[in-house]
Amino acid sequence: MKKKFNNILISNDDGYESVGLKVLLNIAEQLADNVLIVSPKENQSAKSKSITIKKKINYREISKNFWIVDGTPTDCMIFALNHIFKKNMPDLILSGINAGSNIGDEVSYSGTVAAAWEGAVRKIDSIALSQYGGDNTIDSYKCSQAKGLEIINYLLKIKSQTTRFYNVNFPYIVSRSLENVRSSFTTLASQKIADELLFDDNFNSFSIGRMINDQRSSTNTDLECLKENKISITPLALNLSNNEFFNKMNNDI
């Protein structure tokens, strides 16, 4: 059976040994003849779109088509797209599958989303995928294992005049059949109101704890979708310009 693509590039932010990356590789190999992995050497969660500057970035190919980069997810993408794929860009970029959800305000911190973002700005269809409740056990990825290929195929069939850039979150479901798990297009939840800070005994250092969220419910958000045990699909935009402002200014002139 002929596969959809010649080349798929995959990356993540949890590091090259993560379970989610192995799950994503299995999915990608059903879509493309050639799958290339460029993944961070260490866990790079919450690094967003940060890049390493004024410092050498070590890398190596640990096996055929599998590279590790001692840097951020965006470093990985810059290396892949400007070196490995310099002459022939990949047909699709998949990032993940992240251990834990990336929803709402968390998306701005996510290295998983950032890797897909870097692909999308190069006009390459890119999808970030995350598993709510995912950890270092394969069983925690049952939903993304069962539904990941179906969701990716569905999204790629949707006609678009712009580059496809999606953020997908799978619910944590392990105790029942996954065949009838539904998906829904959602907006990003806006739930953050504060952060927990954990200080040492001398109050000269701190660590950042959990995000403190607004518990009020909003409809049609990725957060509510996961609460209903549905797969959340959020189409993301690349341009951060405030179009509402410009529309208002144009109307006022």
| pLDDT surpasses 90 at 210 | no
**What does the pLDDT average to over 122-136?**
96
Of 151, 144, 211, nearest to 171 by C-alpha is: 144
| pLDDT surpasses 90 at 9 | yes
Instruction: Give the whole-angstrom CA distance, residue 49 versus residue 151.
Output: 25
Tell me the per-residue pLDDT of 194-208, one tens digit each, with 9 for 90 and over: 878 889 888 888 888
| Residue of 190 and 186 predicted with greater confidence | 186
Instruction: Give the whole-angstrom CA distance, residue 200 versus residue 164.
Output: 45
Instruction: Give the whole-angstrom CA distance, residue 228 versus residue 150.
Output: 19
Domain boundaries, the chain: 5-188+218-252
Domain 5-188+218-252 belongs to what architecture?
A: 3-Layer(aba) Sandwich (3.40)
Of 90, 53, 89, 83, nearest to 71 by C-alpha is: 53
pTM (two decimals): 0.91
Tell me the per-residue pLDDT of 37-80, one tens digit each, with 9 for 90 and over: 999 999 999 999 999 999 999 999 999 999 999 999 999 999 99
